[in-house]
């Protein structure tokens, strides 16, 4: 298999959580360590599609970059930068918004979920968010995009925009058609309080998520309080039907342990949920504790983080400058 060109982004909208780790960042690290060409972006332009406090946003950009580093992204191997420092993202987003069709955007379910009932009051930015995401990806000729399952639809839109541009400008292969890289199993980690809701930074309940900065004790307490049900521990996949909370906890266990589901059923046969939760806490603590400590250490060194972002921005600027020149030429500018 040849070298893949990887691009992915994470919004600096607060503490990153176990869902971001399992759904996205864990894969970033694996892809980097398989010697692919990787670009990981702190997507602050995406964050401002909903109102942000400027001072907190600045802090969140640093913390997101610190989380990338703490999870194992190495700035010597991968480009790490923040989106707003490379103006080509906004410029290409405008150009691609003239290629994308209203009908395509009208189908985006994340806009419907995030805008809620009062979509007239949502920002225009939130509506065209997927076009900016397409610009991020296409600008670097990314061939593969590791994302959580919730971003699959946006990636399909990026593919549609790429194909339409290539057809409209009679330029086959000008933009790559990016492939999503989504985990096959348990690609969407759910809230610890409601197995039908995605684990999310913006959930008002702290008990709904494991933050990557949580202490061991916080992790243990949150797992203890995680919702289960009155049924007994499942013994087969059939027992997981209509039990979203149980399925989610098992998904977290399998994702972090690398164990197979059949092995899990025999390991916990005849055991109760509190026993399973103890083992689950152990696994999460083992994985998250070193990350949490490293984030806290890096947060004490903001000038190092700023330097990593600046170096990454310079590299991203050089790559994107070449592509944007060619894109503008196609439009006749």
Whether residue 224 lies in the annotated active site: no
Residues whose CB is less than 8 angstroms from the CB of residue 250 and which lie 6 or more positions away in sequence, other chains included:
234, 240, 261, 264
Closest CB to ligand AQP among residues 14, 164? 14
CB of 201 to ligand AQP, least distance (A): 4
Neighbours of 199 (CB within 10 A): 24
Window 130-149: contact mask with ligand AQP (x via CB under 6 A): -----------------xx-
Our CB check for ligand AQP shows the closer of 11 and 78 to be 11
Active site residue 114: yes
Closest CA to 246 of 256, 258, 232, 259: 232
Between CA 170 and CA 164 the distance in angstroms is 9
Q: Which of 4, 6, 10, 72 binds ligand AQP (CB under 6 A)?
A: 10
DSSP assignment of 266-311, as one string?
HHTTT--HHHHHHHHHHHHHHHHHHHHHHHHHHHT-HHHHHHHHHH
Least distance to ligand AQP, CB of residue 5, Å: 17
Minimum CB distance to ligand AQP, residue 45 (Å): 12
Catalytic residue among 198, 222, 277, 287: 198
Q: Is residue 12 a contact partner of residue 42, using CB atoms and an 8 Å limit?
A: yes
> Of these residues, 201, 227, 279, 330, which one is catalytic?
201
Q: Is 77 one of the catalytic residues?
A: no
Paired with 211 in beta bridges are 17
Verify binding: residue 126, ligand AQP, rule CB under 6 A: no
For residue 20, the minimal CB distance to ligand AQP (Å) is 4
Residue span 178-217 as binding mask against ligand AQP, x where in contact by CB under 6 A, dash where not: ----------xx--------xxxxx---------------
CB burial string 168-189: b at 16+ within 10 A, e below: ebeeeebbbebebbbbeebbbb
The angle formed by the CA atoms of residues 74, 215 and 304, to the nearest 5 degrees, is 30
With CB atoms as reference, the residue minimizing the distance to ligand AQP is 23
Contact by Cβ (8 Å): 70, 291? yes
Surface-to-core class of residue 243, CB atoms within 10 Å of its CB (0-12 exposed, 13-18 middle, 19+ buried): middle
Residues 18-37 that bind ligand AQP (CB under 6 A): 19-20, 23-24
Cβ proximity to ligand AQP: between 61 and 147 the closer is 147
- Catalytic choice (114, 163, 164, 227): 114
CB closer to ligand AQP out of 147 and 308: 147
Active site residues: 114, 198, 201
Q: Which residues of the shown chain bind ligand AQP in the complex (CB under 6 A)?
A: 10-11, 13, 19-20, 23-24, 147-148, 150-151, 188-189, 198-202
């Amino acid at each position: 298999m040849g070298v893949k060109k990887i691009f992915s982004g994470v919004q600096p909208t607060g503490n990153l959580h176990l869902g971001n780790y399992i759904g996205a960042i864990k894969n970033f690290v694996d892809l980097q360590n398989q010697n692919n060409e990787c670009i990981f972006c702190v997507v602050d332009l995406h964050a401002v599609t909903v109102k942000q406090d400027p001072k907190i946003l600045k802090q969140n950009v640093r913390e997101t970059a610190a989380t990338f580093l703490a999870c194992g992204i190495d700035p010597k191997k991968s480009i790490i930068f923040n989106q707003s420092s490379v103006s080509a993202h906004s410029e290409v987003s405008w150009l691609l918004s003239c290629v994308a069709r209203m009908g395509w955007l009208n189908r985006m379910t994340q806009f419907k979920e995030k805008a809620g009932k009062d979509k007239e009051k949502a920002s225009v930015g939130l509506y065209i968010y997927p076009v900016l995401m397409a610009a991020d990806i296409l600008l670097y000729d990314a061939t593969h995009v590791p994302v959580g399952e919730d971003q699959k639809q946006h990636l399909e839109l990026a593919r549609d925009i790429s194909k339409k541009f290539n057809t409209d400008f009679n330029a086959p292969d000008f933009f790559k058609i990016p492939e999503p890289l989504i985990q096959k199993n348990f690609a969407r980690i759910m809230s610890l309080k409601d197995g039908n809701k995605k684990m999310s930074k913006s959930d008002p309940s702290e008990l709904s998520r494991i933050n990557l900065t949580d202490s061991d004790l916080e992790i243990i307490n949150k797992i203890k309080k995680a919702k289960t049900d009155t049924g007994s521990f499942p013994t087969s996949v059939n027992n997981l039907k209509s039990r979203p909370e149980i399925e989610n906890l098992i998904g977290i266990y399998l994702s972090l342990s690398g164990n197979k589901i059949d092995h899990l059923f025999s390991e916990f046969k005849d055991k109760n949920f509190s026993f399973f939760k103890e083992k689950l806490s152990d696994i999460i603590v083992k994985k998250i504790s070193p990350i949490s400590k490293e984030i806290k250490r890096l947060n004490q060194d903001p000038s190092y983080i700023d330097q990593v972002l600046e170096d990454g921005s310079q590299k991203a600027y050089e790559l994107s400058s070449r592509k944007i020149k060619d894109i503008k030429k196609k439009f006749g500018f």
